Amino acid sequence: MSTATEERTPGTRTGGLLIESANLALGDGDSTVQALANVSLTVRPGEMVAVVGPSGAGKSSLLAVAGALTTPDSGSVRVNGVDLDTLGKAARARFRLQEIGFVFQSGNLIPALNSAEQLRLMQKLAGARDILDPLELLAAVGMDHKARSRPDQLSGGERQRVGIARSLVNRPSLLLVDEPTAALDRARSQDVVALLARETHERGVATVMVTHDHDVLHHCDRVVEMVDGRLSS
């Protein structure tokens, strides 16, 4: 088995995301829902896939399974060539920090930290060796001039940009994005998703974005739909 460490250098990645026949039931004995029903999904490095579908279809469950936050009842999940099932609890947490970036609805930044500190904290938590310069990354998302600003001093779109920079700071192989435009107007939504697509392509990250926003789908390489826990393309 290859390890995450061996494959952190761009170009040597076999990587991306490979979910095979994942099943996940949620709830108690009385009312169980099949959140994921035999779901298979492959996302290559440098590819951005949008997941759409009605409320309750299983989109968040898909992100949770891909992000090593939830273990499926059956099936397998490989990220950058590593089978998540082979990782113990501590290794799984470290793997998540080093290999998987998360972008949430409204940035989810820490209120007391400025933009640069948000990125530095993620690097510190990951204990990353092969790290990017936080200021360079903030410049890449057009936010270097706000490196010392705290979240309450930023607009919604700016917070999302910092959140995107933070998600990329440990050179993840997989980026999981949950409704990134939920709090943004149309123009900011286009900017943010275009930025995600550019970073996905330039950095060779495999990106999965859950969205209800059909106006941003043209930025994505592929769109898949979830209905009742099942995936169709």
Ligand X SMILES: Nc1ncnc2c1ncn2[C@@H]1O[C@H](COP(=O)(O)OP(=O)(O)OP(=O)(O)O)[C@@H](O)[C@H]1O
Q: Does 57 bind ligand X (CB under 6 A)?
A: yes
- Provide the minimum distance between the beta carbon of 228 and ligand X in the complex, in angstroms, as a whole number: 9
Q: Does 59 bind ligand X (CB under 6 A)?
A: yes
Q: Does 232 bind ligand X (CB under 6 A)?
A: no
For ligand X, give the closer residue by CB, 26 or 87: 26
Q: Does 72 bind ligand X (CB under 6 A)?
A: no
Each residue 98-127 as x (binds ligand X by CB under 6 A) or -, in order, gives: ------------------------------
For ligand X, give the closer residue by CB, 39 or 193: 39
Please name the residues in contact with 147: beta carbons below 8 A apart, sequence gap of 6 or more. Answer: 114, 115, 116, 134, 135, 138
b/e map 8-32, b = 16+ CB within 10 Å: beeeebebbbbbeebbbebeeeeee
Q: Does 169 bind ligand X (CB under 6 A)?
A: no
CB distance 82 to 15 below 8 Å = no
- Dihedral angle computed from the Cα positions of residues 160, 55, 186 and 204, in that order, rounded to the nearest 10 degrees: 50
* Helix (H), strand (E) at residue 78: strand 74-79
Per 3-state DSSP, what percentage of the chain is helix, strand, and coil (rounded to 5)?
Answer: 35, 25, 35
Q: How far apart are CA 168 and CA 117, in angstroms?
A: 14
For ligand X, which stretch binds (CB under 6 A), given 52-60, 79-87, 141-149, 185-193? Answer: 52-60
For ligand X, give the closer residue by CB, 33 or 132: 33
Q: Which of 6, 20, 33, 76 binds ligand X (CB under 6 A)?
A: 33
Q: Does 58 bind ligand X (CB under 6 A)?
A: yes
- Which positions lie near ligand X, rule CB under 6 A? 26-27, 33, 35, 53, 55-61
